[in-house]
Amino acid sequence: MPEVRTVVTFEDPMFNVSERKDYFINECCYGDDAARALMEQLRSHGIQTDTDPGQEDFGWYFGFRTGAVDYQFVIGHRPADGSDPVVWIGWLERKAGLLGTLFGARNRGIQPDAASVIHLAISTLPQVSNIRWHRKEDFDAGREKLGQMDPAGR
C-alpha cells in the first residue's frame, strides 16, 4: 500500500487572514474560521469531531475520529507574497499522549480513511482551489511541486 500523504495545501479566500481577534495568542493565529468550517463539513458527513478547535501559537487544530482511531488536524496559513494568494497548510496527526509524542507516534499509522475524510471536507468548501497533498518529508524539504490532487497520490 502506498504511503498516505498527510500534509495538504489549498487556497480559499473566504477565511480571515487580516483581522486580528482579541483571543489570538499571537498576531498570526488566523485559521479559527477555517478549522470551524472543516469541522462542520466533517460533521455533515457523520464524522465525530471536537466541539471547538484549539489554538496553537501559529494556528489551530481539532480532533476527529475515523474508525477506532483519534486524529488531529492542524491548520495554519502562509501569508500572501505579492500577487500570490494565501495558502492554507494543514497536516494530519494521530492523537498520542506525551510518551507517544516523544517517540514519534503522531506521525505513524495514519490510515488512508483519515486523509480521505479531510480531503472530502476541504474539497466541499465553496471557494476552495488548488488542493495539493504532500508527503511530510517532501513538504518539509520544500518539494511542494511533488504534491498530488488527492491524498492517495493520484
Cβ–Cβ < 8 Å for 91, 7 = yes
pLDDT tens-digit readout, 66-80: 988 899 999 999 988
State pTM to two decimals: 0.90
User: Is residue 30 a part of any domain in this protein?
Assistant: yes
User: Is residue 123 a part of any domain in this protein?
Assistant: yes
User: Is residue 53 a part of any domain in this protein?
Assistant: yes
User: Is residue 44 a part of any domain in this protein?
Assistant: yes
Which string of DSSP letters, residue by residue, matches 53-86? -EE-SSSEEEEEEETTEEEEEEEEEE---TTSPP
User: Is residue 121 a part of any domain in this protein?
Assistant: yes
User: Is residue 154 a part of any domain in this protein?
Assistant: no
How many structural domains does the chain have?
1
pLDDT tens-digit readout, 5-57: 999 999 999 999 999 999 999 888 999 999 999 999 999 999 999 999 999 98
pLDDT bracket for residue 113 (50, 70, 90):
very high
Q: Say what the pLDDT of residue 104 is.
A: 58
> Domain range holding 80?
7-146
User: Is residue 37 a part of any domain in this protein?
Assistant: yes
| Diameter over CA atoms, the chain | 45
pLDDT tens-digit readout, 87-112: 999 999 988 665 555 555 567 678 88
User: Is residue 134 a part of any domain in this protein?
Assistant: yes
